[in-house]
């Protein structure tokens, strides 16, 4: 018979465990927001969008801006910024996002979002298309599209 003896944790051990746990959380926490920037056409009202509205727009639930302009979402086809945006804003993987939109399209509830392989092309489209909103990798020149703060 094997008998295990549990040692009573000392205050030093508890502090060390807490520090290790905090370090593990910090190391494993994604830095998503550093990977993408939300951009919108100059017709979009304000300089910020709430995370709730942003999620609703990209899930097809919010279809107009507060000024009545139709929301036109545009997405990247792939890449770290695409994955980070979908995970952080929508809580979805790219496959889940694609599946979600396929259901909307096949049921006739919405048209598929316009997608771009090139972030610069996405930014150029957003800059010229009223109501457009998308995201680009951080550091991508947004042209005349405005950068939106996500609140």
pLDDT tens-digit readout, 81-113: 999 999 999 999 999 999 999 999 999 998 999
pTM over 0.85: no
Tens-place pLDDT, residues 38-63: 999 999 999 999 999 999 999 999 99
Q: Is the alpha carbon torsion for 101, 129, 35, 120 positive or negative? A: positive
Give the residue among 46, 92, 81 at the shortest CA–CA distance from 65: 46
CA distance 147 to 75: 15
């Amino acid at each position: 018979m094997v008998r295990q003896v549990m040692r009573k944790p000392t205050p030093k051990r508890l502090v060390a465990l807490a520090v290790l746990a905090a370090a593990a959380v910090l190391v494993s926490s994604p830095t998503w927001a550093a990977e993408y920037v939300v951009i919108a056409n100059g017709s979009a009202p304000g300089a910020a969008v709430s995370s709730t509205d942003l999620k609703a727009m990209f899930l097809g639930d919010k279809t107009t801006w507060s000024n009545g302009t139709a929301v036109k979402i545009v997405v990247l086809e792939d890449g770290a910024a695409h994955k980070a945006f979908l995970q952080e804003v929508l809580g979805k993987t790219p496959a889940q996002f694609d599946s979600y939109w396929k259901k909307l399209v096949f049921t006739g509830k919405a048209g598929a979002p316009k997608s771009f392989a090139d972030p610069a092309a996405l930014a150029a489209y957003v800059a010229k298309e009223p109501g457009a909103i998308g995201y680009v990798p951080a550091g991508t020149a947004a042209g005349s599209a405005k950068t939106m703060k996500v609140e």
